[in-house]
Amino acid sequence: MSTEEPQDDSPEEEEDLQYFVRIGGADLDGTKTVERSLSELDGIGTRTARLVAEKADVDRNATFGLLDEENIDAVVDIAENLEDHVPSWMTNRQNDFFTGETTHLVGTDVNEKRRHDINRMKIIESYKGVRHKRGQKVRGQRTKSTGRSEGTIGVNVEEIREEMEDDEGGDDE
């Protein structure tokens, strides 16, 4: 009888399980823990995911899809409005260039704002913008021996042999 009870409980758990939880324009895996699935979202790392679970009064090791609707809504609300719940130094968009506000971007907004910032740097032709245009390293890395994008470096022996054969063949005629 005891072997049948866990079998009966598991289908009920699977029925209540939400396989996908939508936050910030992205679907999170509901079969993973709260902390792990939140950390897969762009703009939220493990430390921030732990803080979000703590602020929502949710166990960070609980399966995300098995939480109640109220708990899931609390986690979603805190994740989307993180700048209201954390100190300003913990946000990822401090003193925005256009608005001057401090916000925390999650999901696809992170990539969109990053592309927008890079395009702005290219348009005003700042040093970083010029480096982005050329496809070179931007953050001061060494470029003498790394970051080369032009095919082979050094002597191309096959090309020299072909040129020599063409020159020899041209002299005979």
What's the pLDDT tens digit per position in 110-162?
999 999 999 999 999 999 999 999 998 999 999 888 877 766 667 778 888 88
**Which residues, 6 or more positions from 123, have their beta carbon under 8 angstroms from its beta carbon?**
129
Q: How many residues does the chain have?
A: 173
> Could you read off the pLDDT of 88-117 as tens digits, one per residue?
999 999 999 889 999 999 988 999 999 999
The SS3 assignment for 154 reads coil
**What's the whole-number mean pLDDT along residues 55-76?**
91
The SS3 assignment for 20 reads strand
Is the pLDDT reported for residue 17 higher than 90? no
Q: Are 36 and 53 in contact (CB under 8 A)?
A: no
The SS3 assignment for 162 reads helix
Residue 7 pLDDT grade (very low, low, confident, very high; cuts 50, 70, 90): low
Q: What is the DSSP letter of 22?
A: E
Strands 26-29 and 20-23 come out as antiparallel
The SS3 assignment for 29 reads strand
**What's the whole-number mean pLDDT along residues 60-84?**
91
Q: Are 136 and 143 in contact (CB under 8 A)?
A: yes
CA 7 to chain centre: 38
Tell me what pLDDT residue 118 has: 96
Tell me what pLDDT residue 153 has: 63
- Mean pLDDT, the chain, as a whole number? 85
CA distance 64 to 74: 12
Residue 13 pLDDT grade (very low, low, confident, very high; cuts 50, 70, 90): low
> Could you read off the pLDDT of 31-61 as tens digits, one per residue?
999 999 999 999 999 999 999 999 999 999 9
CA distance 105 to 157: 52
